[in-house]
Amino acid sequence: MLYGTITEFCTPQDCPVMSAGSKYEYHWKDDHHFKKPARVSAPVYVDHVMAWVQSLLDDEAIFPSKIGINFPVNFQSVVNDIFRRLFRVYAHIYTTHFSEVASLGEEAHLNTSFKHFILLVKEFNLIESKELVPLADLIDMLLAQSKN
């Protein structure tokens, strides 16, 4: 939802590569259409992430909705992949579009959403530390605030 508010600023022309600043570039890979990591624009990457996550959430074999059905043995790795890719969307928003978020008066919503996301990530060790580096300073600040 937060990303949806900045789509007019995040176009293939304005964001031809999915990135989190100049040091971090993300390529899309999946098991169906992109067997090798592919360089795609940020809006294409985000569209792929959201469709991919939705397809996983709708998959009864991965997220069973009936009582008594076990989660698959690879459930933890699937959840880790989901969170890693969602983090990349946050990282792109913060590093590339924060001024637009602020001009729309949405920074408090973004910060609150991201803080809850990171607290969940840290509680259940969902993303490797090296993946969090693009927003490490922000994460440290948010975690310090949550201790107060």
Residue 3 tokens read as 């990303």
Question: Is 116 a known ligand-binding residue?
Answer: no
Question: Is 97 a known ligand-binding residue?
Answer: yes
Give the C-alpha distances (Å, rounded to integers) separating 104 from 9, 74, 108: 12, 40, 11
**Cα 93 to Cα 120: distance, rounded to the nearest angstrom:** 19
Question: Is 92 a known ligand-binding residue?
Answer: yes
Give the C-alpha distances (Å, rounded to integers) separating 30 from 3, 52, 109, 113, 138: 21, 9, 30, 26, 29
Residue 62: count other Cβ atoms within 10 Å of its Cβ.
16
**Is the distance from CB of 43 to CB of 11 less than 8 angstroms?**
yes
Question: Is 109 a known ligand-binding residue?
Answer: no
Binding residues for Zn(2+): 10, 15, 92, 97
Residue ranges at the known binding site: 10, 15, 92, 97
